[in-house]
Structure 1
Amino acid sequence: MSAPSFPELTLSQMLREHALRSPGRTAVRQKDFGIWNPISWKDYFERAADVGHGYRTLGLAAGGHVAVLSENRIEWVLAQLGAGLVGAVTIGVYPTSPASEVAYVLEHADAEVIVCEDQEQVDKVMEVRGQLPLLKRIVVVETKGMRNYPADLVVSFAALEEAGAAHRAQNPGLVEEALAGQSLADTALMIYTSGSTGKPKGAMLTYGNIRAQAVAVIEKLGLGPNTTHLSYLPLCHVAEQMTTLMAPVYLGSQINFGESIRTVQEDLREVAPSMFLGVPRIWEKLHSSIHIRMLETGGVRRRLFEWAYAACEPFAETPRHERTLAEKLRYGVSYLLVFRALQNYVGLRRADVAMTGAAPISPRIVRFFRTIGVRLVEVYGATETSGVALGQKLDRLDPGSVGEPIVDIEARVGDDGELILRGPTVFKGYYKNDEATAATIRDGWLHTGDVVSVTDGQYRIVDRLKDIMITAGGKNLSPSEIENTVKGSPYIKECIVIGEAKKYVSALIQIDYETVGKWAEENRIAYTNFRNLAENPAVRDLIDAEIAEANSQLAQVSHIRRFHLLTKELDHDDDEVTATMKVRRANIQKKYADEIAGLYSAA
């Protein structure tokens, strides 16, 4: 498929184009109280324009900074697109972030207006108000409990739109004037990195970056105007920006917002999207959910699933058009008897393509979904590449690879095996951090910090350059390869490998509470809470067997010899994981130093 041809327009200009060309076509659906409410392209543009004018009434000038602190919903994208229509820049903040992290991002980003979802998020901002000298106003979407907040500081989103509509009537040419002066070189968006090894950095993406990413992801995945998508991953993450705003606004395709992050599985079944993006943790949860369902179904159904899976796994990665007649028949029978119900259960029966990216994933999980008929492709990208930089195609699913470069991106293997990239999706730089920008973009090449290997044009991510471990015996190890092999087990949620300067590899293991809990119930093992379950000798035996299975798939030097079961779940609030659930390795190793020492004492 050749790269799609789109006009040289910014995201904001494309929104206006669709409002003019397809005013009545549905752009967005928002679920409220169980009802999916459609919003046309004309209304999408009109409301965004009202929001943009509303910002001007709050004193936000062109080039000003608007932050959004909310779960995904129509108001999130209206806040962003409204900012774009009047020449402002948007910054996303994770709604799960504690007040201290919110304060850092808002202060560093020079946010003048912040759009908050509800009282909980407003309270975080109010708690750190003294650290935010540039903050002019707080806009709140859900006003429940907000009656006694200062009216000169807090305004409702509805009031913002209303004030914007009045301002627009008095200044009808403002949006047209702003769009006429907008170019692809302008900064559109600032996305803060996860900060797994230090303070988050604000990556500046231009409208040109966004357009180039839209072209690339549409070509790579074969998306079209009739593509549908459920938006649920945080919009302050570049992956969801890519699938909720970048591609749909250029394509004119439809996005759907569910009622809550807690209703994702139900919303998926109702929407049955044609395209789906899941980070590895989502695929792990769906895999565990199916595993629990199989435990609950009992004898005959479970055996039928096991038969169908064993029959179809050998050709899971073979493109459909290359399968033999016998394989097509085998899959057809398995689909009718088992896989169709499972696809309906996870809401992906109509998905033409599904993606996994943002972090490494167990090959076992990927193969599982491909076997049951979910067309899952692995992609690689980063905030600094505006989204996807490498990706598989459906007609070539090499296990363990992340495919080849997207349209217009050059990829090269640099020193120490590091992946370096050049092209129009490479970001503008880090906000207020020229030193980090110069260290990351050198001679026009983006240094990703990821070690890769290349076989027959297909790239494979080995690990982060800084995470490669060297054992006491001088062997180089990839912790993520070991960790993701272990996390292929439905009973293991997290694995943190220890091995730097050690005689052998060990690990801290966090069980999957829901799956292990169901296993315990099936085996009549009583427990009361997470700690009680993790400390049960039978559970340790279960995990021991799962690690032995993982070890059988790894080289001898990578085998986990000893492990410690964590007695609590890793928590963002405890500074153990980032908002995107990336493990803060340094913090973990410091916090669990005694447990790690115990893994090497009396060995």
Structure 2
Amino acid sequence: MHEFTVPRLVEPLRSGGLADSVFTTAERDPRHLQFSRPSDNGRVGGARRDISWVPVTAAAFRDDVLAAARGFLANGIRLGDRVALMSRTRYEWTLLAYALWTVGAEVVPVYPTSSVEQVRWILHDTGASGIVVENENHAMTVAAAYGSQTALTRIWQLDSGCVAALEDDGMGVADEDVHRQRAAVAPGNPAAICYTSGTTGRPKGCVITHANLASECDNLLAGWSSLLKAPGEPPSLLAFLPLSHCYGLMVVVGSVRGGVHVAHQPDLSPESLLPALASFRPTFLFGVPYIFETVLARSRAAAQEAGHGTLFRRAAQVAVRYAEAAQRQSLGRGQGPGPRLRLRRAVYERLVYAKLRAVLGGRVRHAVSGGSPLSRETGLFFAGAGITVHDGYGLTETTAAVTAQPVGAVRFGTVGRPLPGCSVHIARDGEIWVRGDVVFSGYLNNPQATGTALRGDWFATGDLGHLDDGYLVITGRKKDVIITSGGKSMSPLVLEEELRGHPLISQCVVVGDNRPYVAALITLDPQALHHWQRLKGRPPAEPGTLTDDEELRAQIQRAVSRANTRVSRAESIREFRILPGEFTPDTGLLTPSLKLRRSAILAAYAQDVERLYTPRAAASFAREPFGRR
């Protein structure tokens, strides 16, 4: 199979823009609970579990949006103007985005961790007439980016009370003036200029229209809304993904269009995120693999520290077996879990699974994972533990998801089937092409890149994969394919995902391009490492002091050997190095959406890569029989 299409569930947006849903919802049900805000001015996190939430009704949100929109008009922002938003995920981000859409302006999301050079490029490329920043550090970044040559007419700062200032500025503007601007917005107008994460080269601005976002959200709501609720509970979710990323933006827009109760959480660290989840108790979760891997690792570590490591391991095995049997049944390939397996799962439900779900607030039964593929084993574990994670696939150019797991027919190890209204095509070289209402209209000011990416109605994603009964399997990216000096080509994704699933390993970069064999750079999770040291009765030590520790290397070698069983001998990892620190967005080695910046990593750790191919290592490889390579 080389192509698969799923028909639309909802017709494309025919008139108006995204802001219209704010006003129609408030008119229809003004008391509807649309948002909750933390009572301590947005500072959610730490080890606290006493977070209280202040409700925001649909009518109150409309009034907030209208007041900010009047303020933007008073400051000269009009239809077609571009205003950048540089802030973490918080209520004010969503509020100001909808206010800008209300007056017909285009939102330019900027990652709050962006460098001076990145901010300079985005503001120059978009010609933004204004920017909203969160704090003084962001304001200083903007000042350094443009200096005295700035073309900006306005800079607003959230932590300096800019929302209230906008409301004051707009006191003399009539509501009718705002609504005239809103009435001029058409579905094909740009809603956001979302910049690619920039894993290589300069980020490109993807022009995402109101119709793109509406189609993405409305089809997901039509096909998957039943999963958002818990029994007897209205749907709710905690928005913690960066709103500067198209995935996070889609989550909030979909929630507003679908009337889902939303709270914002600005900090993705487990120390902040987990208490917020436990307090808000969402009914649904949008996340990335890192979130699910962290919850799994934390639960495993807690069980081991309590002396229940064996219990957790057996519970995990039962969860995977149970989910595998349930999947076979849902796909019409088996009878489902047998009585003995059901009984064993019931035993572990109270002892293990319920406690794991409590980490997420206790009400989540379904979730979505995006950004990068979720490992099959992790997906099976969560399904067996009572949370079905619907893995999906998409890019900024496809307004976030373009495939998702169908309701009731999840196939773990894949990223699902095309969303309604979308098609997936596998080109002759294995590249994934997609088509549909969610595909962007092109790159801003870059017709050459647009012409390369868009092949008629199709968008060439740069990812590799294949279709299995309409389900898409991601196998890697074209630009990441490694070709060894012996001519063997391979994608590093399988090995990297397998190794990242080990509790001690946080990231892995497989190398070997133009080299005699495949090797890997590995980073460790500091908390998991400290836990491992306690179990071994060893004094705590930082990762940087243990890169050559024999016992630790033996542990990682077992993980490498297990990963190697997933590939051929010629594709297997022969050498690895443990690095002294993790890759982070702050160091420029991960994108803000937590994807590897391979070229930056290889440049930063060039000496470590060279050590993987020392004469001694190469000699060891050369002694192996030719037929085993």
Asked if structure 2 preserves the Cα contact closer than 8 Å seen for 1:122 and 1:140, the reply is: yes
Q: Does 1:172 align with 2:175?
A: yes
Q: Which moved more, 1:289-298 or 1:13-22?
A: 289-298
Deviations 1:181-223 (A, max 9, x none): 2111111111110001111111111111011101222244334
Aligned to 2:547: 534
Divergent runs of 4+, >6 A: none
Aligned match for 2:484, one of 460, 471, 491: 471
Aligned to 1:502: 515
Distance 1:490 1:394 in 2: 30
Distance 1:443 1:131 in 2: 43
Distance 2:364 2:236 in 1: 9
Q: Does 1:161 align with 2:167?
A: yes
Asked if structure 2 preserves the Cα contact closer than 8 Å seen for 1:527 and 1:533, the reply is: no
- In structure 2, the CA distance between the partners of 1:551 and 1:259, relative to structure 1 (3 Å rule), is closer
Q: Does 1:273 align with 2:282?
A: yes
Aligned partner of residue 112 in structure 2, secondary structure: coil
Aligned match for 1:205, one of 205, 208, 214: 208
Shift of 1:265: 0.7
Asked if structure 1 preserves the Cα contact closer than 8 Å seen for 2:236 and 2:262, the reply is: yes
Asked if structure 2 preserves the Cα contact closer than 8 Å seen for 1:71 and 1:261, the reply is: no
Asked if structure 2 preserves the Cα contact closer than 8 Å seen for 1:214 and 1:250, the reply is: yes
- Give the 5 Å matches for 1:112-151: 112-130=129-147, 133-143=150-160
- Give the 5 Å matches for 1:37-436: 37-130=54-147, 133-143=150-160, 156-164=162-170, 166-168=171-173, 171-223=174-226, 226-245=234-253, 247-258=254-265, 260-262=267-269, 263-298=272-307, 301-317=308-324, 318-319=326-327, 323-324=336-337, 326=339, 327-347=341-361, 349-436=362-449
Q: Does 1:492 align with 2:505?
A: yes
Deviations 1:243-295 (A, max 9, x none): 111x1122122111236444211111122212211112222222221222122
Aligned partner of residue 142 in structure 1, secondary structure: helix
Asked if structure 2 preserves the Cα contact closer than 8 Å seen for 1:192 and 1:200, the reply is: yes
Asked if structure 1 preserves the Cα contact closer than 8 Å seen for 2:365 and 2:386, the reply is: no
Shift of 1:350: 1.6
Asked if structure 1 preserves the Cα contact closer than 8 Å seen for 2:281 and 2:360, the reply is: no
Shift of 1:474: 2.7
Asked if structure 2 preserves the Cα contact closer than 8 Å seen for 1:408 and 1:424, the reply is: yes
- In structure 2, the CA distance between the partners of 1:534 and 1:199, relative to structure 1 (3 Å rule), is same
Deviations 1:145-178 (A, max 9, x none): xxxxxxxxxx7221112222x033xx23112212
Q: Does 1:454 align with 2:459?
A: no
Shift of 1:544: 1.5
Distance 2:295 2:385 in 1: 12
Shift of 1:405: 0.6
Asked if structure 1 preserves the Cα contact closer than 8 Å seen for 2:466 and 2:472, the reply is: yes
Distance 1:220 1:132 in 2: 49
Distance 2:337 2:292 in 1: 28
1:89 maps to a residue whose letter is E
2:53 maps to a residue whose letter is W
Aligned partner of residue 309 in structure 2, secondary structure: helix
Asked if structure 2 preserves the Cα contact closer than 8 Å seen for 1:68 and 1:76, the reply is: yes
Asked if structure 2 preserves the Cα contact closer than 8 Å seen for 1:106 and 1:132, the reply is: no
Shift of 1:233: 0.9
Distance 1:573 1:324 in 2: 46
Asked if structure 1 preserves the Cα contact closer than 8 Å seen for 2:13 and 2:214, the reply is: no
Aligned partner of residue 173 in structure 1, secondary structure: helix
Unaligned runs of 5+ in 1: 144-154
TM-score, length of structure 1 as denominator length:
0.92
Shift of 1:6: 8.7
Shift of 1:577: 2.3
Deviations 1:13-61 (A, max 9, x none): 1111101111111111111323201111111111111111111222222
Distance 2:199 2:574 in 1: 27
Aligned to 1:150: none
Asked if structure 2 preserves the Cα contact closer than 8 Å seen for 1:482 and 1:558, the reply is: no
Unaligned runs of 5+ in 2: 1-6, 41-50, 619-629
Asked if structure 2 preserves the Cα contact closer than 8 Å seen for 1:54 and 1:167, the reply is: no
Aligned to 1:151: none
Asked if structure 1 preserves the Cα contact closer than 8 Å seen for 2:529 and 2:543, the reply is: no
Q: Percent identity?
A: 28
Distance 2:412 2:488 in 1: 25
Distance 1:352 1:132 in 2: 52
Deviations 1:86-107 (A, max 9, x none): 0100011111223332222222
Asked if structure 1 preserves the Cα contact closer than 8 Å seen for 2:8 and 2:422, the reply is: no
Aligned partner of residue 169 in structure 2, secondary structure: helix
1:123 maps to a residue whose letter is M
Q: Which moved more, 1:458-467 or 1:352-361?
A: 352-361
Asked if structure 2 preserves the Cα contact closer than 8 Å seen for 1:98 and 1:573, the reply is: no
Asked if structure 2 preserves the Cα contact closer than 8 Å seen for 1:30 and 1:259, the reply is: no
Distance 1:7 1:442 in 2: 24
Shift of 1:132: 5.6
- In structure 2, the CA distance between the partners of 1:534 and 1:373, relative to structure 1 (3 Å rule), is farther
Q: Which moved more, 1:336-345 or 1:188-197?
A: 336-345
Aligned to 2:46: none
Higher relative CO (CA 8 A, sep ≥ 6), structure 1 or 2?
A: 2
Aligned match for 2:583, one of 567, 570, 591: 570
Number of equivalent positions:
585
Q: Which moved more, 1:210-219 or 1:81-90?
A: 210-219
Deviations 1:66-95 (A, max 9, x none): 111111111001110000000100011111
Shift of 1:489: 0.3
Q: Does 1:550 align with 2:540?
A: no
Asked if structure 2 preserves the Cα contact closer than 8 Å seen for 1:30 and 1:74, the reply is: yes
Distance 2:457 2:224 in 1: 27
1:593 maps to a residue whose letter is A
Shift of 1:527: 4.1
Q: Does 1:14 align with 2:27?
A: no
1:557 maps to a residue whose letter is A
2:209 maps to a residue whose letter is T
Aligned to 2:625: none
Distance 2:288 2:186 in 1: 32
Aligned partner of residue 60 in structure 1, secondary structure: coil
- In structure 2, the CA distance between the partners of 1:132 and 1:215, relative to structure 1 (3 Å rule), is farther
Q: Which moved more, 1:248-257 or 1:527-536?
A: 527-536
Report the aligned-residue RMSD: 2.1
Q: Does 1:438 align with 2:463?
A: no
